[in-house]
Amino acid sequence: MGRIVFLNCFPKDQFSGGIKTTYHHAARLKAQGFDVHVLQPEGPPTRLKETNAQELVCQDVALDGGDVAVFPETLSGWFGDVIRAPLPAKKVIFCQNPYYFFWYCHSKEELEQWGVERIIVPSQWAKRSVQSVLGIDAVDVVQPSIDPALFAAGEKKPRIVSAGWKWDGENHLPPYDRLIRKMLRRKYPALTSVPWFALGDVSEQVVADTMGQSTVCLSLGRLEALGMTALEAMSAECCVVGFHGSGGEDYATAHNGFWHSPEDLEGVVDSLALALEMTENGGIVWQKMRQHGVATARRYHPDVTEKALYKVYSALFS
């Protein structure tokens, strides 16, 4: 059997969701017995802490006929040049987000001409989207995982946690999380003292701890391939309010959160007030929503991801 080589030639100070997932996939595949390498000439990302993933990094590689080369969906610059080149290895694209893929505007015919054999995406929505927009059938789903031991409920206190960078201020529009907070204070002044925690450039452990100690999560998903923040919050038994983004169609229901259009900010404010009241007072409605949320998050258990990874990559060597 040949090698799996993830082409991750990004600066080491860059650690996007796609890069994080690439290293997670690489480490899990290595644990399953595959010969796995991650090509990153600058060395492993500064924020990558897992030693088993760091050990997979190589500065150079010569691809052979039995290998599988995994490209990111950002096919510009060096990646664009290499994917166009005749390589002995099979070419696969791990498309963390179809919107980035569409932005580079490569057609089905170009991908076939370059020898791309399969595209791997993180959600059923992403699969449908790639198939519909590009007309490509060879798309596999490997969903990301939510570790229930990490994202677990702790000692809760009334607090709203949010990650607002995808709706940050643009074109003279205010940042959504700050605007929603101001609207909540005006409409429900009794809730002014409820603390907020804005997730920024923090570790996964800090995110998990914060969610575990908070009662409500303001989900501001936008152009998502799946939307992990809401799922992590469900696993940590937060009441989720807000937007699910495109990929959230895979899991968002009226039973596991209060979901709104991005234009319905007053509705979001009302739901935040209701969520704070529900989580404070308990009751059967919140109990049911919490149960549905946890059950939804468990569909993204690491075991499910492990099985999908093995199935997809084994097929590439058959």
Per-residue confidence (pLDDT) for residue 104, from 0 to 100: 87
Q: CB neighbours (10 Å) of residue 231?
A: 29
CA–CA gap between residue 51 and residue 44 (Å, rounded): 10
Q: Which residue has the tokens 């009751």?
A: 283
Q: Are residues 113 and 244 in the same domain?
A: no
Alpha-carbon span 45 to 16, nearest angstrom: 10
How many CA atoms are closer than 13 Å to the CA of 98, on its beta-carbon side? 27
What is the b/e burial string over 237-261, where b = at least 16 CB atoms within 10 angstroms of the residue's CB? bbbbbbbbbbbbbbbbeeebbbbbe
How many domains, in total, are found in the chain? 2
**Inter-residue long-range contacts of 291-296, CB under 8 Å, 24+ positions, other chains counted:** 292/253, 292/255, 292/256, 293/233, 293/234, 293/235, 293/237, 293/238, 293/239, 293/240, 293/256, 293/257, 294/234, 294/235, 294/237, 295/256, 296/231, 296/234, 296/251, 296/253, 296/256
How high is the pLDDT of residue 209?
97
Asked whether residue 151 is domain-assigned, the answer is no
**Residue 108 lies in domain:** 3-145+302-316
The Cα–Cα gap between 304 and 49 comes to 23
The answer to whether position 312 is within a domain reads yes
CATH number where 196 lies: 3.40.50.2000
Distance of CA 147 to the CA centre of its chain: 13
Say if 127 falls within a structural domain: yes
* 172 and 240 inside one domain: yes
Does residue 152 sit within a domain? Answer: no
pLDDT at 15: 87
List of the chain residues with pLDDT < 50: none
Shared domain for 74 and 119, answered yes or no, is: yes
Structural domain contains residue 286: yes
Task: Tell me which residue of 282, 262, 260 sits closest to 270, measured CA to CA.
Answer: 260
Neighbours of 20 (CB within 10 A): 18
Q: Evaluate whether residue 150 is within a structural domain.
A: no
Distance of CA 252 to the CA centre of its chain: 15
Q: Are residues 168 and 114 in the same domain?
A: no
Residues 83 and 161 in one domain: no
- Same structural domain for residues 203 and 292? yes
Within a domain: residue 29? yes
Question: Nearest Cα to 121, choosing from 109, 136, 139, 108?
Answer: 139
Q: Long-range contact list for 282-286, CB < 8 A, 24+ apart?
A: 286/239
- Quickly tell me which residue has 């038994």 as its tokens: 237
What pTM does this model have? 0.93
Q: Are residues 311 and 254 in the same domain?
A: no
pLDDT of residue 188: 98
Same domain for 175 and 109: no
124 shares its domain with 234:
no
Do 141 and 7 lie in one domain? The reply is: yes
Q: What is the model's pLDDT at position 200?
A: 82
- Do residues 171 and 276 both lie within one domain? yes
In a domain, 221, yes or no: yes
CA–CA separation, 99 and 316 (whole Å): 25
Q: Report the pLDDT value the prediction gives residue 1, as an integer from 0 to 100.
A: 84
| Statement to judge: residues 17 and 132 lie in one domain | yes
